[in-house]
Each structure stands twice: as C-alpha cells, then as structure tokens.
Structure 1
Amino acid sequence: MPLSIGIDIGGTNLRAARISGTGEILDRISEKSAPDPELVLSRIADMVRRFESPEVAAIGIGVPGRVDARLRTVLSGGYVNLASVSLAERLEDIAGKPVVVDNDCNMALVAEMALGAGRGHGNIVMFTIGTGIGGAVAQNRQIMRGRATAGQLGHITVDVNGETCACGRRGCVETTSSGTALGRHIARAGLGPDVSIDQLFDRDAAGDIQALGILEAWARPLRAAIDTAVAVLDPDLVLLGGGLGRAAHRALACAPALAPWYQCKVEPAQLGDDAGVIGAGLQALAGEAGIAPALPLPSVQFGRARRAVLVNGIPASGKSTVSRGIADRMGWPLLALDTVKNPFLEVLGGGDREFNRTLGRASYQAIWSVVGEAPAGTNVIVDAWFGFQPRQLLEDHLRKAGVQQTAEIWCHAPGEVLAERYRARLGQRPAGHPGAAYIPELIELARRAEPLRRGPLFDVDTTKPIDFGAIAEWLRAVIGASSA
C-alpha cells in the first residue's frame, strides 16, 4: 500500500507526517511556522525531504485561509498567507510527487469523518480553534465547497461593531473566540500572558469571577456562531477541533444554547493536532489515484478507497432480496453472511446455536478479509445483520479491509411479518440455524433493532414493493459510481 506525506500549516506550527493508506501516522516532525511565505515553503520542503522514500506516492497540504482545492490555488490566508506562493507547483518541482492542497479545516474534517468523532455522521459542521478559527462543512459525508471556498466559519459575524478581522470585516468570531482572541481577553482583564486556559478553568472552579468573565467573553461569541451554523445547515453534529477545541467545548458550559430551535450536539474532535496531517495524507492518496485532488476521503467520489454498501436488517427482514436486487442493478459483488456460513453448516452437519454463532463470527471476519483483498476502488455489497456483533468490531474490520466509505440500506418489517417469513423457511435452512423457538425472540428483536446510521442511510420497508430504481439512483449519488 502506498504512503503519503501529510502537512498541516498552522499559525504557530508546521506539522508533517508520513501517513499509511489507513490513516496511521508512521513518523512525524514539527517546525515553527512563520509569516514569511517563502520561509514556510522552505521549511515544508525540508520536512518533505526528510520523509522522502520510494513508498511515498503523494503529498497533501492543509493551508489556513481560502483555498480553491480543485485548482490547487491559495486565495488568501490569515496568520500565514500563502496566496503569493504557487505552493503545489513549486513543491511538486522540489519533491517530484503529486501535491494536493486544501483548506486545513477541510483536511481535519476528512480525518475526523474517517477515523475520529465524525464516524457514523453524514452532516457535520466543524470549527477548529487555534491561532485563528477555521471551519469546514460536510453534507452527506461530502465536503461542501460552494464556488470554491465554502465553510469559512471563522468569519461568521458575531459583533457588527467589533474588531477588524484579517478578512477585512468587523466582528468575525475569529476576532473574539480564537486562541489569539483569548490572549486579548486575558490581557484586558489585567492578567499576565502566562495565564493559561487551564488556569482559568481552575480559577473559575474556585469561584473567581474574573476568570468566569474571561471564559464567558471567549465562549459566548463562539456559541452564537455555532447557533448560526446550526440554523443554516441543520447538521447531525458540531465538532470543535484544533489545539483549543477541547477547551472551547468545556468553555461553552459558560454559554449554553438558549434558542430551542437551534439545538445540535456539540462534541470535541478526537484526533487533536493529528487531524490535519492525517486528512492531508489521505486526500493526497485520493488525488494520486487520478481523481480530482479536491475530493475528500469520505466523499462520494473517492477513487482508491474500497466502498461497502451495508445491507442491514435482522433475520427475515428481506435484506437478501434487497441485496440481490442491488447487485443485479449495480453489477457490484455481493457477499452475504449466510452464503459464507451455510456451506460449512452443510458439510459439518449443523450444530447447536452456540456453534452457529461462532461460525457466524468467523464468516463475518471472512467477508471482510475477502473485501480487504479486493482491488482498490472496489464497491462491494455486504448482506448481514450488523447488530449481531459489537459496533467496534465492524469498525476494526472496515479499517483493516481498507473500506473508507459506507452506505447503509436498512431493511425492516413488523415483527409479526418477520415471524411468518421465518416460519415459512424453517425447512429450507441447513441444520444449525435456530428453529421455531427463536420466533418470539425475533419478534422482540424487531421492536428494538436500529440501523447503524454509519454514513448515508436508505430506509426500506420490505412489506411494500421495493423500488430498486430509487435505491440504485441513491447509491450512484452517495457512492459516486455508475453501474457496471
């Protein structure tokens, strides 16, 4: 599997890492950032040379400010302005490798969707809190770009009479709730520059009114910006990343959401400062495959990643019929749990229910082992009741198999219908499958079973005629590939 170099350009630090195809950081280095774009380029080039090896196929760079990722052009920057530097072309000349350039927060959100707090969510808003404030938006696990640079959430206005921002407007949330802004709040309160955010939390816990005032001044504008983004985009999740993401999440307790219309779960990002380099490295590998380099790992048009359609549902829910119909329409290979398991039951002569469960777990592992051996870019349909194993086991299998995008088809019917279906096929199943005694358990399972909600979800009530045309059209939209 080829490797990549992911680079994250920040106002304080330049980070670089050698990244595997599954997003693992193999090596890392860090240098101080600088306002001089030529000096930044020189330091990036030195870091790339240190990581150079035959296995490295491409380089990805996350840049603060506005970036036209499709054209690989930096349009503007804040604390590090690289608009005057032909970054991608010059680094390609230096390194002899293809280079992908995107906004640094877009890169971080790609990583969080693939490996971090964004897994299982389709619509996400992310603020990165550091020297400045970056932003990124994903809809149906695809980075939103608008004409080129959508997602500049740090420039949501929270005070029309506020301080002048680097963008030229006044009162952007970056001027009130970034790390730089926190330093100004501390200074205006008459405290020294050595007072840290952790010390402010400690002072607040001890009843220090001054510390509480600083935290409120820092957090309230951020809450306003989050509420605005939620009102406009209605996401599943708001993530706070960057070096101060966790602190900002904690500080929001001082500024709770008030408007009941604009509520959304807000969580700290999980990957910390690693998100930028991981996302950059993964996007680099996507671009290296000949796909437009602006497309992020979890998006619908990622060329190198294996992609899986998870046809999910409890026994007798109709998922086998749905799976076969999708395979016929799309021309994609179908792997079903029973297809792997039943030949073993037939040859071995069945077994008790515990043996059936053990064989099911082995068959589940076998499916993902087969997927992992498929060529890069393969789309595969997997037919299983994914709730029969822990969620983390599925995530581990997907990671090991190199599956970096999933779409879920949720098949369901009332418990009484499932009971009749299950009873009707009792004589057709190999010995070892649960018998009629399982039916009351099946009815109860139908009442509480839920889809995974891992990525895009299509709901199928299998008591009604199945519209395979609609399913195929949806899959082409979310998986981004035509039928065979």
Structure 2
Amino acid sequence: MAIGIDIGGTNLRAARISATGEILKRISEKSAPDPELVLGRIADMVHQLDTPEVAAIGIGVPGRVDARRGTVLSGGYVDLASVALAQRLESMAGKPVIIDNDCNMALTAEMARGAAVGHDNIVMFTIGTGIGGAVAEARRIVRGKATAGQLGHIAVDLNGEICKCGRRGCVETTSSGTALGRHIIRAGLGPEITVDQLFARDAAGDALTRGILDAWARPLRAAIDTAVAMFNPDLVLLGGGLGGAAHRALANAPALAPWYQAPVQPALLGDDAGVIGAGLQALAAEGADTATTGARRVMTPAKTAPAPASPLSVPSARRAVPNRRAVLVNGIPASGKSTVSRGIAERMGWPLLGLDTIKNPFLEVLGGGDREFNRTLGRASYQAIWSLVGEAPAGSIFVVDAWFGFQPRQLLEDHLKRAGVVETAEIWCHAPGDILAERYRARLDQRLPGHPGAAYIPELIELAKRAEPLRRGPLFDVDTTQPIAFDALTAWLRTTLPS
C-alpha cells in the first residue's frame, strides 16, 4: 500500500491506496497559505493513515516541481517552495516520500483507472482556479529538464492579461475558473451565477451568456490545438473542478486546424485522481528501486516509471475505432426516460437502444422468471446494447435508454471503450419518489413476468432519494413532472454532439 496526498488551495486530501489504485481509506483537512501549517496537517493525516503495510508516500503539489530532485520550485495559493517538503515529511513519517506536480499525479491515476485506460499518449489540462497540465508519451509522464507539461502557460493572446508566470495571455488568464469569473463580471452579470446557470441561459438562446462561454472556451480550444500539434496524442483529457464544464463549452468551439485532431474527453476520477495518482507513483518508484537494489528507495522518484495498468484496462489491440457517440438517457425505473428517449430519437433521427427493448422479447419467449433471472438478463441486454453500438458505422450517434446505476461505473467505461464511443452526453430524468411509485403501480399489469412487482415500490422510493446522474460529460436535467422541453433539449444536443 501507499499513502497518496493531494495539496489543493481549498482542501488537503489524503488516502491509503492499494497497488491497483483502490482507495482503502480517505481523510481531508482544510488547506492554508502558511506552508508550515500545511506541512503539520499533512503529517497528522499521514499518522492517521499509516499502517505497517504502507511502503511509501506520494504527494501531488500545485506549481512547478522537480520530481527527480524532490524539490518544489514554485507554487500558487499554497507555495511550498520554501519548505523541504519531501525530506521533512520523510523524517516525520519514517517512510520514503516522492513529490510531483499535482496534474502529473492526476494523469497517472486516469491512465490506471480512469478515462485514459488503454491509451498510450495523453495530454491533460486541469481546469480549476488556474490551469494545470500533464503529458504522457508511451504511458510515461513527460518531464523534460524538470517541469515539462505546464500547459496552462501556452500563450493564446500576446496582448492579454499578465500571468503570474510573468508573460501575457497564457490560457490560464483566459480559460481558468478565475478567468471565467472575470468574463462574467465584465459582461455585467453577478458573481453568484453558476456554470450550470450559464449553460441553461445559453440553451435558452441568451446571446450575452453565449459570449461569456465563447470568451472562456475558444482560447482553451486554441491551447488544445497547440498541444495536439506538439504531442500528437491519442486523447486529450479535461480534468479539475471545471473540466466537465469546459468540455461542454467546447461544443461551440470546434478544432481550428484539420491537420491537428484528437478526441477531447472529460476526466473521470474527479477529486480522487490526485490521491490515487500520488499513491501509484509512490508504489511505482518504491517497486522499481526494490527490484534492483533490494532496499527501499528514498525520495527521488523513478525517472520514467510507468503508471500501473488497471486490471480492467482494454488491451490496445482490441480497441475499437474511436468515432461513435452516445446520448445516455439515464434515470431510475419510472423516471420517464423512455418517453424522453423516444422524443429525442424521433426529432434527431438517431437510433434508439433501450434495455427493456432488448430484454422483453427474451422474457416473452422464455416465459419470465424470478428477479435474479431478470437481473441476469438485464446485464446481458446491457452488453448487447454496446455490442450493437460497436458494430455500427463510423460516426454513428445512438440514444441509449437505461438506468446506468444498476451496474458498476467501470463496466460502463469498459463497454464504451470497446464500442469505440469517444463522447457522451447525459440526460438525467427524475421525479419525486411518490410520483415514481404512482407511475410504477399504474403499469404493474403491463409488465412481463420477471420484472419486479408491487413489492419493489418501497425500494424504488428509497432509490429515488439517493440516485444521482453519472456526470460523465455534458449533462441536461429533465424534471419529468413538468412538460418536457424537447426544443431546448434537441438544441442542446445539436451543440453538444454536433453531426
């Protein structure tokens, strides 16, 4: 095991990590601008997580980090350049410590367990208060002399805002969360407006909001195009707290140069990426040294240690051609997703695949079964959906109607990868539990044997309280107790998944 630590401007996160990147225990503390205070809190978290099985500690640090020397060169809100972080924590904990830029840690995690599983060459932008970056070639983090991959400092406007790096017009000054706040204020809107509200106003045709989102997204697109031309990656990931929103905003900012193209996807691991990657890098460095010397290494990480492969990764030889897209119409039973799915398919002309559409003919022919049989058939139908998608022509867009929470998230990611689905948009259908119960009860006489009966209704009500969308890429919320605004929904889809 290892302890992974992610230092942020708001929170300090730490977790005990298994050799496959599983989080075994996690804790967090508030961050602070005082480096000594941060060091003390990190030491306390390590003490709480440490066990005899912990072999090493990894720390993701914002700013410029010389990972080979174990030195912080610069930082932002939490500037640890004045603190011998690795040496002092090692002395406190009695375990070897490695440090690296927090974005490198996040990319390590995404390669092992997230959106970059099965890909070899990846560029990652992390969109938050600022913009960070990381690059992997042949699944190894690119470090250059020391601090390669600072993608937030790609210049997109030579006459733009002064950046903290000393230059003007870095993409961090135009497309970070801080920059989005400036765009909002300059447009005359209040700082309390949320990103989701911006997208809702944009979908309703508000020109002012479209201008804000364009000013935020188009420089980011230029930076992505530059990075793609430089590194020719398999995949560009957008992580950080605003990565999903940035991915959504890019729907109206297509790639500028046809020569330089790569699929752009949101990262999957969210706030967990930093601690997972830090733990995995610590284990990779420790394992590399132990294998060659028989002794545990101290501080300096392996120069080119690859991220451990996910046990669920898809071998490269089996990857489908990545050019299909899917609208995931998501919601628990009786949430109205079938009505929404049919409406989308009719208006957009995209083929519709529904879990029950595939499953019910088998129930009819086989004569039904118990609930466990229904679940087994549901899993097979789920696999059948993605097999059909994977056989479709290049460029196909499918509408998929299912409750995606009934299977593990990683299984969906594996299916999408095998089917060559490079981009998804999610429609989240929901209603209060008592409404769902009424709908479900009213349809009991129409449901085939094998589907859960009236005894399922209390379980359905409880499920409604805790069910959540996947939040995998762009998200459109549909309250199915209200008339469904198909015009707004299809307009959103045309910009989110343009043909």
Structures share fold, TM-score greater than 0.5: yes
Residue of structure 2 equivalent to 1:359: none
- Determine helix, strand or coil for the equivalent of 2:112: helix
Letter in structure 1 aligned against 2:187:
A
Q: Kindly tell me: are residues 130 and 311 of structure 1, through their superposed partners in 2, closer, same or farther at Cα, counting changes over 3 Å?
A: closer
Letter in structure 2 aligned against 1:65:
G
Given that residues 69 and 101 in structure 1 are in contact (C-alpha distance below 8 angstroms), is that contact kept between their aligned partners in structure 2? Answer: yes
Q: Deviations over 1:18-57 (max 9, x none)?
A: 1111100111122222222222212211211221222222
Counterpart-to-counterpart distance in 2, 1:312 and 1:137: 23
Residue of structure 1 equivalent to 2:306: 298
Task: Find the partner of 1:224 among 222, 225, 234.
Answer: 222
Counterpart-to-counterpart distance in 1, 2:34 and 2:252: 37
Given that residues 67 and 148 in structure 1 are in contact (C-alpha distance below 8 angstroms), is that contact kept between their aligned partners in structure 2? Answer: yes
Residue of structure 2 equivalent to 1:57: 55
- Determine helix, strand or coil for the equivalent of 1:59: strand
Residue of structure 2 equivalent to 1:253: 251
Letter in structure 2 aligned against 1:28:
R
Counterpart-to-counterpart distance in 2, 1:21 and 1:126: 23
Letter in structure 2 aligned against 1:66:
R
Gap regions ≥5 residues in structure 1: 314-386, 400-484
Deviation of 1:111 (Å) = 0.7
Given that residues 288 and 305 in structure 2 are in contact (C-alpha distance below 8 angstroms), is that contact kept between their aligned partners in structure 1? Answer: no
Deviation of 1:164 (Å) = 1.2
Counterpart-to-counterpart distance in 2, 1:16 and 1:288: 19
Letter in structure 1 aligned against 2:94:
G
Counterpart-to-counterpart distance in 2, 1:298 and 1:36: 33
Residue of structure 1 equivalent to 2:84: 86
Counterpart-to-counterpart distance in 2, 1:104 and 1:176: 21
Q: Kindly tell me: are residues 312 and 78 of structure 1, through their superposed partners in 2, closer, same or farther at Cα, counting changes over 3 Å?
A: closer
Task: Find the partner of 2:275 among 274, 277, 294.
Answer: 277
- Which aligned runs of 4 or more in structure 1 are off by greater than 6 angstroms? 310-313
Letter in structure 1 aligned against 2:120:
G
Residue of structure 2 equivalent to 1:334: none
Q: Kindly tell me: are residues 224 and 305 of structure 1, through their superposed partners in 2, closer, same or farther at Cα, counting changes over 3 Å?
A: closer
Task: Find the partner of 2:120 among 119, 122, 126.
Answer: 122
TM-score (norm 2): 0.59
Given that residues 241 and 270 in structure 2 are in contact (C-alpha distance below 8 angstroms), is that contact kept between their aligned partners in structure 1? Answer: yes
Given that residues 286 and 295 in structure 1 are in contact (C-alpha distance below 8 angstroms), is that contact kept between their aligned partners in structure 2? Answer: no
Residue of structure 2 equivalent to 1:72: 70
Residue of structure 1 equivalent to 2:460: none
Sequence identity percentage: 75
Counterpart-to-counterpart distance in 2, 1:226 and 1:311: 24
Task: Find the partner of 1:209 among 191, 195, 207.
Answer: 207
Deviation of 1:182 (Å) = 1.3
Residue of structure 1 equivalent to 2:152: 154
Residue of structure 2 equivalent to 1:188: 186
Letter in structure 1 aligned against 2:184:
I
Q: Kindly tell me: are residues 193 and 280 of structure 1, through their superposed partners in 2, closer, same or farther at Cα, counting changes over 3 Å?
A: same
Residue of structure 2 equivalent to 1:26: 24
Letter in structure 1 aligned against 2:84:
S
How many matched pairs? 314
Q: Does 1:289 align with 2:287?
A: yes
Residue of structure 1 equivalent to 2:426: none
Q: Kindly tell me: are residues 312 and 191 of structure 1, through their superposed partners in 2, closer, same or farther at Cα, counting changes over 3 Å?
A: closer
TM-score (norm 1): 0.61
Counterpart-to-counterpart distance in 2, 1:44 and 1:239: 29
Counterpart-to-counterpart distance in 1, 2:246 and 2:161: 20
Gap regions ≥5 residues in structure 2: 290-299, 319-386, 391-406, 415-499
Letter in structure 2 aligned against 1:116:
G
Greater shift after overlay, 251-260 or 155-164?
Answer: 251-260
**Pairwise CA RMSD:** 2.8
Residue of structure 1 equivalent to 2:260: 262
Counterpart-to-counterpart distance in 2, 1:119 and 1:160: 36
Letter in structure 1 aligned against 2:38:
V
Counterpart-to-counterpart distance in 1, 2:222 and 2:175: 11
Given that residues 20 and 310 in structure 2 are in contact (C-alpha distance below 8 angstroms), is that contact kept between their aligned partners in structure 1? Answer: no
Counterpart-to-counterpart distance in 2, 1:176 and 1:143: 26
Q: Deviations over 1:413-436 (max 9, x none)?
A: xxxxxxxxxxxxxxxxxxxxxxxx
Deviation of 1:176 (Å) = 1.1
- Determine helix, strand or coil for the equivalent of 2:91: helix
